[in-house]
Structure 1
Amino acid sequence: MLGLKQSDLASKAMITRSVLLGLEQPGRKHPDQLALFQLRDALIRDGLTFVDATEAAGEGVRWAKPSGKVWVDCLKDARAMLGYSLDELSEKSGVGRYVIARLEKTDRKRINEEAARRLRDVLFDNGVVILAEEADIGAGVRLRSRVRPAK
């Protein structure tokens, strides 16, 4: 959501890029708790807030303050949350990859509303909800349902 390179995020969190890469691995067994706290604190300092999971919905992340972003501004974040490439989302949605890329740009001239709605629906069907900006908190994304820990 911040648009940072891994090396820049690692630097802000005062961890090495290799530690950050390790934290991002889905199969990691025991993540470094100190590195996780440093990473969380760096993201919070840069204006993000974390959304806790509830019985009804999963965890997520959003801007801590309203910023004027519209829900379309979170399409890229929702795609990233699912780990989809442009090509994968294009295949699942039927929306061309170049249309998706244009929608994900913040300096777009106009919004293809039909394509944006189709993408939002596909992302929702695959487990991610885009959170609209509210009066006291910014837009964001969250998992549609709570992820159950593996046994």
Structure 2
Amino acid sequence: MRLIKAARALAGASQDELAQEAGVSRQIVIRVEAADETVTVDAVEKVRAALERRSVVFIPSTAERGPGVALSKTG
């Protein structure tokens, strides 16, 4: 999930910081970023929610481009 790694970079968070904010281990963050298929949906959702609390917006893909991430101007 390169998107999660990009989102973490935009948010200016280390893996340790993101793990703490998401309530998961650093190893889970590493596995989510590596798109490890054995990571639970719950863990991915916790990581995503933590990033969204840091004003990250996940942009869905369209027919013209793939998915993306951005920072909210209101955050």
1:126 matched to 2:64 = no
Give the corresponding residue for 1:139. 67
Greater Rg, structure 1 or structure 2?
1
- Partner in structure 2 of residue 99 of structure 1: 28
Higher relative contact order (CA 8 A, sep 6+): 2
**Equivalent of 2:42 in 114, 129, 136:** 114
- In structure 1, the gaps of 5 or more residues are 1-71
User: Across the two proteins, how many residue pairs are aligned to each other?
Assistant: 75
Superposition TM-score, scaled by structure 1 size: 0.45
In structure 2, list runs of 5 or more residues that go unmatched. Answer: none
Write the letter of the residue equivalent to 2:73.
S
Query: Which 4+ residue blocks in structure 1 deviate beyond 4 angstroms?
Result: none
Letter in 2 for 1:82: A
Deviations 1:40-81 (A, max 9, x none): xxxxxxxxxxxxxxxxxxxxxxxxxxxxxxxx4411110000
Q: TM-score, length-normalised on structure 2?
A: 0.84
Q: Tell me if 1:79 matches 2:11.
A: no
Give 3-state SS (helix, strand or coil) of 1:141's partner: strand
Kindly report which structure 2 residues correspond to 1:1-150, keeping only aligned pairs within 5 A, or say none. Answer: 72-106=1-35, 108-145=36-73
Distance 2:39 2:59 in 1: 18
Q: Which has the higher helix share?
A: 2
Q: Report percent identity of matched pairs.
A: 32
Shift of residue 136 of structure 1?
A: 1.7
**Displacement, 1:133?**
2.0
Determine helix, strand or coil for the equivalent of 1:145: coil
RMSD, matched Cα: 1.8
CA offset at residue 146 of structure 1?
5.2
Partner amino acid for 1:85? S
